[in-house]
Amino acid sequence: MTDGELVRRAQQGERQAFDELILRHQPIALSLAIRIVGDRERGLELTQEAVLHAYLSLDRLRKPDSFRAWLCGIVVNLCKNHLRRPRVETLSLELLSGGRSFDSLPFPDSAPQPHEAAEARETHRLILAAVEQLSPANRDAVLLYYFKQLNLREIAALLQISVPAVKGRLHKSRRKLRDQLLPNFAELQSKPAVAQQTRSQKMIPVTVLDIVVPDPEKDSRILILADESRRRLLAIWIGPFEADDIALSLREIKLHRPMTFSFMADMLGKASVQIESVAVSALENDTFFATVHALNGDGKVAVDARPSDAIALAMRTQSPIFVAAEVMEAVGLEIPADMEVSAQGKRPKMSELFPIDPEEKESRLKERERWESMSPEERREESRKKLLAHLTESGTLSQSGESGDE
């Protein structure tokens, strides 16, 4: 008996017909729920809830033959609603890039900026409009794969076609969508490989001064580098994992088992690869690029890397760190004449760095609005002042003449 016939019988009150439908399609619904939420028990609960929703609204199903797709759609919606409930911290693309210019981002905020929300809505509109121009067959495949998050086998079963046919429809759709959308997104245009980008020949030796945690509730960290004269700083936004490893190295804290960068350093040592130096070698579109220079049996090699990874590795291998002269000139922060870098021995614990009173959260909304209204030069000066205040409060900077042993 087909799904359509069972649905029509169930709509007339035949309970056994509905039970037969669930027996047929509950396994794929459960598999879909587990795939989305990542937990079997939670997926089972959501699948049961979807079955109840389906039973209560079965009379509104206009296409009886599409019961399976309809049930899976209910599961997807329930799973998405479930995932929206908790506030899950995720890493932003800025943090994943491993190094953002300090004055390219304000201190961490809890809500999206108005212009970001507007850009997201416009992007969503452009994508949906492009999808609507696909052929009906290709559009169905795209919506099921990218919007409903079904896998190829599930889509093939729902559309009653083969898996290779699904792949073909997705391939054609991606090509057409790329051609149509690419002119609207300049940042997605092809760029030269990192290895082909111009690197500075003049390098400035630097040391890692500290890790700033502007807001303990957020994942954002700021890596502070100081030049030889200790009169200029370079501030780079990085992710929490690399920052924590750098902080452990900076405070000479040894753990019982090797962490990621300790393991990498040991592996390189066993393979007779020596890290000669690392360098923050370029800044492009507010993103820093780094280069790791190493020696092996075949000679010297240069490997492109994120600044956070490169510097964390340099700390573990005690390798020198450099910054390209033009990068320091472009975004380096001058330390005021009446301030100086304090003694290294005054470093606080990571948990004590720059605590922010929770009562200040309301004032941050006004700070965000003010940030949006400022010019790039004003933002840079504002960020510089805040950073200096943080470093002074933590003891990293002090007034000239003030003893570091007090």
- pLDDT tens digits along 295-308: 987 788 899 999 99
pLDDT, mean over the chain: 78
Between CA 138 and CA 133 the distance in angstroms is: 10
The residue count of the chain comes to 406
Residue 348 has a pLDDT of 40
**For the CA atoms of the chain, what is the radius of gyration?**
28
Domain borders along the chain are 3-84, 134-189, 203-399
User: Which residues lie across from 224 on neighbouring strands?
Assistant: 210, 235
Is residue 106 scored above 60 in pLDDT?
no
Is residue 44 scored above 70 in pLDDT?
yes
CA-to-CA separations, 398 to 111, 369, 404, 405, in angstroms, rounded? 34, 31, 8, 12
Tokens of 220: 């954002």
CA-to-CA separations, 365 to 109, 110, 361, 371, in angstroms, rounded? 8, 9, 7, 10
Between CA 83 and CA 91 the distance in angstroms is: 16
Residue 313 has a pLDDT of 93
pLDDT category of residue 401 using cuts at 50, 70 and 90: low
pLDDT category of residue 372 using cuts at 50, 70 and 90: confident
Mean pLDDT of the 105-116 span? 51
Between CA 138 and CA 172 the distance in angstroms is: 8
Q: What single-letter DSSP state applies at residue 374?
A: S
CA-to-CA separations, 109 to 84, 106, 285, 302, in angstroms, rounded? 19, 8, 21, 37
Cβ–Cβ under 8 Å, residues 290 and 278: yes
Structurally, at CATH architecture level, domain 203-399 sits in Roll (3.10)
Residue 284 has a pLDDT of 84
Is residue 190 scored above 60 in pLDDT?
no
Mean pLDDT of the 319-336 span? 90
Between CA 380 and CA 216 the distance in angstroms is: 23
3-state secondary structure at position 57? coil
Fold of 134-189: Arc Repressor Mutant, subunit A (1.10.10)
Q: CATH topology of 3-84 equal to that of 134-189?
A: no
pLDDT category of residue 275 using cuts at 50, 70 and 90: very high
Compute, in degrees rounded to 10, the torsion defined by CA atoms 120, 123, 129, 133: -140
CA-to-CA separations, 132 to 138, 144, 286, in angstroms, rounded? 10, 14, 35
Between CA 332 and CA 229 the distance in angstroms is: 13
3-state secondary structure at position 313? helix
pLDDT category of residue 290 using cuts at 50, 70 and 90: very high
Is residue 323 scored above 90 in pLDDT?
yes
CA-to-CA separations, 336 to 82, 202, 230, 342, in angstroms, rounded? 51, 25, 11, 14
Fold of 3-84: Rna Polymerase Sigma Factor; Chain: A (1.10.1740)
Mean pLDDT of the 378-401 span? 79
Which of 47-61, 170-184, 263-277, 331-345 bottoms out in mean pLDDT, i.e. has the lowest? 331-345
Residue 365 has a pLDDT of 66
Mean pLDDT of the 280-291 span? 87
Cβ–Cβ under 8 Å, residues 71 and 48: no
Mean pLDDT of the 44-64 span? 84
